[in-house]
Structure 1
Amino acid sequence: MVIENLTRILIRLPSIEKLSFTTLSVLHTLSRKSPMRLTELTATEQVTQSAITQLVTRLEQDGLVERRSDPNDGRVVQVHITARGTNVIDSRRLDRITQLSKFMEGLTSEENRAIASALPALRRLVELGNGS
């Protein structure tokens, strides 16, 4: 329950870039795994093929992603995050770190150490959730 509540708080932190949760999720996915096929994005984002196609079209129009032919199979289209898309994710991450750091100022040294010692286990939990 604590992780769920913390996730809710982190998702709702104010941001300069006003993008939908699904849009941000696609950009985060591509920032880790670019390039990807549309079918892969559909599966990872758990949306319909039609929805991901529309979203990628909007992201492409905004200069955040681009579609390119797969060099190994010209019939396949891959979605690549652009430098601008990467910048959106990086700037949001830095902004969230700054905001979270302000929250952490209210913790004791012992609480900060407890969080630091839990980070390896949380990192592994993320890896397991990402299928690693």
Structure 2
Amino acid sequence: MLTAIFYLIGALSNFIFFDNIRAAINSVDDQLVYGSYNKYILSFQNLVIFSGLLVSIKCLQEIIKHGYFTESSKKLMRVAGYIFFFSGVLMTVLDIIRVQSGGDPNIMMGIILMDFMFTLLGFIVIIIADMAQVGFRLKSENDLTI
């Protein structure tokens, strides 16, 4: 929960200092690969990551209330995994395009690795969701056995 609050504060600070950020982005728009769309791509990335954090928090609340092997926690975990996985893949591809079009490779490699970590995080959460599905099925069979 604390992570989502800090992330929300960081995103809101972009809107508070939006004039300064807009001036900085507009001054280098012609030098960037995606031009003026970079600010929209960044906003979309932040929104997707924040929604993944919210789904993760909801999943953790569900696990605390009802336990790990429930249908709703499994679904929420899978949704959060897919959000992080597809966000990481999309941003990795966009950053690779930036490197190929003349971006600074040293800086971009760090950014690509961070995006790859989101992909890896999503993949791991999807695997854990599959393990929860197997556990839910075993628990259901065990509950039905006399």
Q: For the superposition of Structure 1 and Structure 2, which TM-score range results when normalised by the shorter chain?
A: 0.3 to 0.5
TM-score (structure 1 length as normaliser): 0.35
Which protein has the bigger helix share? 2
TM-score (structure 2 length as normaliser): 0.32
